[in-house]
């Protein structure tokens, strides 16, 4: 079981120290003495529980709670207000902005620990139910729903921080012929084996391997520029080669292979949108591009990889989505791929 992340927020350092002593051993504790700092800490690493003072100078606890619940990445982190107010109207306002519970000051240590443990148990249950609902039943990697959510979330985070992001679209070459030759049970086992190879190629917790649909998979790589994405693609090829799954009816190779399309986005990708590489380009990108463009350019790159003979990787920068030369290049390869037939 992973250690719970607990965020303590109070403008009184003494109150934070008191709660920290009471919660020793309950989880990994982080601290903030104002609302803005609390939101920054939460966005850096989503907490499993937030203990929040209602009355703080500047940004109030109610405003912090509202901001947390409005953030898709943080909305499932339970918020418990720690306050000296006991009026029904006060608590009602807290519940309306998304609070899970209230703890009255002066704080009782047994009550504090009991309510914290209750909220952490509920959070673990929620996380487990979410995991089950977002895992592909056949392969064990993430499903399309979780991929779509992660792609949208990481795209927005990249816009906010300026971090690069890469996306690999992976298609099993001539998979229909594989099923026709070996049967669907063998095809299912091949899908599971490929999924394991993709998951093994992901070395960081933030990387996401997902089944996109049918025999197509995706690898989402936050904070990864093109060189890192190329290394991951090579690990995919190496992992699949080690499996050595026979594919006697493949015109590409005697063993099962994949084609990989890689879409890139980083600061340099946006140079065509803004005259200088400063923070202003982020606002322009936010208006003109979305996560869908990254998915689209990775899909174009996948078609290019197939048109180049399959069993290879092809990369495209998101800045090329409006470039006529890129469109002509991909169209030519796509035509050759279609003339060859197969999947």
Same domain, 87 and 151: no
The number of folded domains in the chain is 2
The residue out of 114, 133, 152 marking a domain boundary is: 133
Same domain, 121 and 151: no
Query: pTM score, two decimals?
Result: 0.65
Which residues are annotated as catalytic? 215
Same domain, 99 and 183: no
Same domain, 249 and 323: yes
Distances (CA, A) of 60 to 16, 17, 83, 314: 16, 20, 12, 50
Query: For position 224, which CATH number holds?
Result: 3.30.70.270
Same domain, 114 and 173: no
Residue 112 domain boundaries: 5-133
Query: For position 122, which CATH number holds?
Result: 3.40.50.2300
- In the chain, which ranges are E strands? 5-9, 28-32, 49-53, 79-83, 101-104, 165-172, 208-213, 216-222, 258-265, 313-317
Instruction: Indicate the SS3 state at residue 338.
Output: helix
Local confidence pLDDT in tens for the 343 residues of the chain = 679 999 999 999 999 999 999 999 999 999 999 999 999 999 999 999 999 998 899 999 999 999 999 998 899 999 999 988 777 888 888 899 999 999 988 989 999 999 999 999 999 999 888 888 899 999 999 999 999 999 998 998 888 888 999 999 999 999 999 999 999 999 999 999 999 999 999 999 899 999 999 999 999 999 999 999 999 999 999 999 999 999 999 999 999 999 999 999 875 544 333 333 333 433 344 445 678 889 989 999 999 999 999 999 999 888 766 544 444 444 444 444 444 444 5
Task: Please name every residue paired with 7 in a beta bridge, in sequence order, or none if there are none.
Answer: 30, 50
Same domain, 96 and 56: yes
């Amino acid at each position: 079981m992973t250690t719970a992340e607990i965020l303590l927020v109070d403008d009184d350092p003494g109150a934070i120290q008191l709660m920290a002593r009471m919660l020793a051993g309950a989880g990994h504790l982080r601290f903030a003495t104002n609302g803005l700092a609390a939101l920054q800490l939460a966005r850096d690493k989503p907490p499993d529980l937030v203990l929040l003072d209602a009355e703080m100078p500047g940004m109030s606890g109610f405003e912090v709670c509202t901001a947390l619940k409005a953030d898709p990445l943080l909305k499932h982190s339970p918020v418990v207000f720690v306050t000296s107010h006991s009026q029904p109207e006060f608590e009602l306002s807290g519940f309306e902005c998304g609070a899970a519970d209230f703890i009255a000051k002066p704080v009782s240590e047994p009550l504090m620990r009991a309510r914290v443990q209750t909220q952490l148990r509920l959070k673990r249950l929620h996380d487990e139910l979410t995991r089950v609902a977002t895992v592909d039943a056949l392969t064990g990697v993430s499903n399309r729903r979780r991929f779509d959510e992660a792609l949208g979330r990481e795209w927005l985070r990249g816009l906010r921080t300026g971090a690069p992001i890469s996306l690999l679209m992976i298609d099993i070459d001539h998979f229909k012929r594989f099923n026709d030759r070996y049967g669907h049970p063998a095809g299912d086992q091949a899908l599971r084996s490929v999924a394991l190879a993709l998951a093994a190629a992901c070395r960081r917790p933030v990387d996401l391997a997902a089944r996109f649909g049918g025999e197509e998979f995706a690898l989402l790589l936050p904070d990864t520029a093109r060189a890192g994405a190329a290394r991951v693609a090579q690990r995919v090829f190496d992992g699949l080669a080690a499996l050595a799954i026979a594919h006697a009816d493949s015109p590409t190779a005697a063993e099962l292979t994949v084609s990989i399309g890689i879409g890139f986005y980083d600061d340099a990708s946006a140079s065509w949108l803004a005259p200088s590489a400063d923070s202003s380009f982020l606002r322009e990108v936010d208006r003109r591009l979305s996560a869908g463009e990254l998915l689209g350019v990775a899909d174009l790159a996948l078609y290019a990889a197939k048109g180049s003979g399959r069993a290879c990787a092809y990369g495209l920068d998101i800045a090329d989505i409006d470039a006529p030369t890129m469109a002509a290049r991909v169209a030519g390869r796509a035509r050759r791929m279609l003339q060859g037939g197969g999947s």
